[in-house]
Structure 1
């Protein structure tokens, strides 16, 4: 006899409490293997493929693509077969072998405590387990054995399992009218939800909507926005959620909690650009990969933080203590289709420019493809923001909470400059440092920024620290 098990959105770690369904990887009627990814979700940190710990037939999915679900909410239900003695890969289903298809999902290892349910015990294993994903197969109810066919049509409750609904028509009717079946009390035997219950809920929802419309009818077409500016009633509203919502929360918290100040300086980057060109033109066995300007600036930052450790810190507001951090985990701002993210180069203080550049390139590619894990987006101690790629000269960065400082870099472009007492055209860049005034005063921040500018103007200064 098949058993229906409910798989809920697991705890994704890093303090995340919700996720948005981006793409379903399975459909109702598909056979899934243990630990096969079944849905792709977006958290405030990253895109994640969620594996299901059960092997069997998908009988229901909860939530359409674009729906945001809290941790612990049902994701899908799986009918797990109870046939004995089957293992290995499943054969193609036929009327006589449908039951063995269900029970052929890989068995969990002994001692996992989930043998009876067909689960692996891995609610979430690093956003996917090491087991290879099984090929998706669609099983029609008429080709399953009777027990499984009944499960696909009527999902009887198992403890806190699916809602008691017999008719697929009732489910479809509820979906079409956005009725949450979990909130309905069925009038049928043993609480069974009937079509009459759904019809009643639909009428109630329509009456409520009509009453709301009557109350709001006299309201003018233009309403006052919270900031007092008139906003059209048909204005587009975009939910702040996912990566965009997380960025909004972090920036708001930074502005609220951190008393920041900004200082900036123009620097002649002509020599830095010449050194980079010479490095990348080198040939022979010792010549490594190309080094980017961002990698050189990152290496300059780690050298500056070694001289001014006050800026590689955070503030424990509860304890009223400044916490100076032992290592530099350097974040860098990266713009993606899903918004701004800040990947982190771990232990940047132990790397040279070539190593930092390679790691920046690797993380940037992961960011563009949406494959950064939460661990690769957290734990930074200082952030480098190259907004010059947008064609702007300057900015006042917002500190990446809970860090203490951020260095902003504008575009490098030819400008008139006094060089060795004469007017010349030089490659000039504006550097701006926003810092938490609680961790240091202007003298320390100015010293840090001046050292960075000196290294940009005279790269030989950096050689003393290598």
Structure 2
């Protein structure tokens, strides 16, 4: 006898509350093995193949390709112990028998699932809560994906509560209500113990839209939209003098993170001009010395700046920190996980070179190349985009001299590097044309004062002007 287990979209990483279904890898009726990828989803950070922790026959899929699902939403159901095309007989048992069967189902799920949905981001091996054992008949693979279960009935408005907590767990539900001006206190949840779900908010939004349309029939519109254009369409908004560009996916994640950084971090910026002529000469000499016959890659300027940043953080570790205001403490990290800003066709991402303090310049260079190629291809994993402790931002590639970077929350600082251009410069007491670069450091004033930040930036500038300074710290 088979038990039907439900697999839900797992937590895919830090701050990610939803994912878009890009491509289903299995059909209804297919037999899947434990940890077999069943769907490819795209988050705001990366493309991920999600493996199923159960082995059995797929009985249903939820979510069409191109649709977005919140974390915790059902992805598919699997009949564990069923044979393809076979039947799972028996009616719904009474409560005592159901309880016994549920225990057996949980044990079977634990034995037939690994729990490794995504390393570091997966779900537990088997849900501990009660799940009703359903009777199903598994049919042959179908070309059409069965529709998702009917949504719960619209929530019935209740008198607003003046105090007390609002029964909402999901931050996605709160965000959806906030964006659509829905008062959560006016809703009665359809979930367990009155929990307000996304379906309740969607119903309230639809009810509000119906009310607005009803009022619109009695109020003349200021300007008619073109025939056949739905409300809020491109033609409609252009007539109003603007177009809509939703902040979703990667763009939405960047917007949320930047807003939070500016809202929570009391940042300050200091900057200095440095003569990078000797750094360019050192890079040229390093690359000329490499024959390339052994596959050695040329050292990039970004790799040298990364190596300098790591040396500076070793001397000024206060900037390799984060702040927890709830615990009222500064967390200073022993390892330096260096992030670097990379512009890709999907938008701005920050891959992380982990354990940079234990890497040589050549090792850092190799990892930068690998991560940059993966970023452009859109194949970075969530683990390669999270966990940074300090960020290097080379905005000089865009042809600008300087900037005041926004700190990559929850880090404590970011080093910005402008373009390197020939400028008049006093060198050894004489006016000469030298290659000059502007360096800027934005730092969290809670972790240190100007003396530490200035010392860090001055050390970076000294290493840029005289790369031999690095020999004292390697």
Give the deviation of 1:218 after TM superposition.
3.8
Question: What are the residue-to-residue correspondences of 1:225-240 with 2, within 5 Å?
Answer: 233=240, 235-240=242-247
For 1:127 and 1:382, how far apart are their aligned partners in 2? 21
Structure 2 equivalent of residue 6 of structure 1: 6
Give the deviation of 1:286 after TM superposition.
9.6
**Does structure 1 residue 24 correspond to structure 2 residue 24?**
yes
CA contact (8 A) 2:352 2:388 kept: yes
For 2:151 and 2:15, how far apart are their aligned partners in 1? 27
Structure 1 equivalent of residue 115 of structure 2: 122
CA contact (8 A) 1:80 1:118 kept: no
CA contact (8 A) 2:6 2:74 kept: yes
**Does structure 1 residue 181 correspond to structure 2 residue 150?**
yes
Give the deviation of 1:300 after TM superposition.
0.7
2:318 is paired with a residue whose SS is helix
Label 1:78 to 1:306 Cα distance change in 2 as closer, same or farther (>3 A). closer
CA contact (8 A) 2:322 2:331 kept: yes
Q: Which range moves more in the overlay, 441-450 or 120-129? A: 120-129
For 1:327 and 1:428, how far apart are their aligned partners in 2? 31
Structure 2 equivalent of residue 452 of structure 1: 460
**Does structure 1 residue 268 correspond to structure 2 residue 268?**
no
Structure 2 equivalent of residue 348 of structure 1: 356
Question: What are the residue-to-residue correspondences of 1:167-206 with 2, within 5 Å?
Answer: 181-183=150-152
For 1:150 and 1:420, how far apart are their aligned partners in 2? 82
Label 1:307 to 1:56 Cα distance change in 2 as closer, same or farther (>3 A). closer
CA contact (8 A) 1:332 1:344 kept: yes
CA contact (8 A) 2:34 2:114 kept: no
For 1:287 and 1:324, how far apart are their aligned partners in 2? 38
Give the deviation of 1:459 after TM superposition.
1.0
Structure 1 equivalent of residue 252 of structure 2: 245
Q: 1:311 aligns with which of 311, 319, 333?
A: 319
For 2:438 and 2:295, how far apart are their aligned partners in 1? 30
Q: Which range moves more in the overlay, 359-368 or 295-304? A: 359-368
Give the deviation of 1:299 after TM superposition.
0.9
Structure 1 equivalent of residue 181 of structure 2: none
1:149 is paired with a residue whose SS is coil
Question: What are the residue-to-residue correspondences of 1:70-89 with 2, within 5 Å?
Answer: 70-78=70-78, 82-83=82-83
Q: What is the count of residue pairs matched by the alignment?
A: 382
Label 1:15 to 1:417 Cα distance change in 2 as closer, same or farther (>3 A). closer
CA contact (8 A) 1:5 1:117 kept: no
Question: What are the residue-to-residue correspondences of 1:408-423 with 2, within 5 Å?
Answer: 408-423=416-431
Label 1:9 to 1:116 Cα distance change in 2 as closer, same or farther (>3 A). closer
Give the deviation of 1:396 after TM superposition.
0.8
Structure 2 equivalent of residue 360 of structure 1: 368
Give the deviation of 1:434 after TM superposition.
0.6
Label 1:452 to 1:236 Cα distance change in 2 as closer, same or farther (>3 A). same
1:440 is paired with a residue whose SS is coil
Q: Which range moves more in the overlay, 311-320 or 29-38? A: 29-38
CA contact (8 A) 2:28 2:141 kept: no
Give the deviation of 1:421 after TM superposition.
3.6
Structure 2 equivalent of residue 133 of structure 1: none
Give the deviation of 1:433 after TM superposition.
0.7
Gaps of 5+ in 2: 89-103, 123-135, 155-204, 225-236
TM-score, reference length from structure 2: 0.69
CA contact (8 A) 2:271 2:457 kept: yes
Give the deviation of 1:16 after TM superposition.
4.0
For 1:244 and 1:329, how far apart are their aligned partners in 2? 24
Give the deviation of 1:384 after TM superposition.
0.4
TM-score, reference length from structure 1: 0.71
Label 1:306 to 1:80 Cα distance change in 2 as closer, same or farther (>3 A). closer
For 2:248 and 2:278, how far apart are their aligned partners in 1? 44
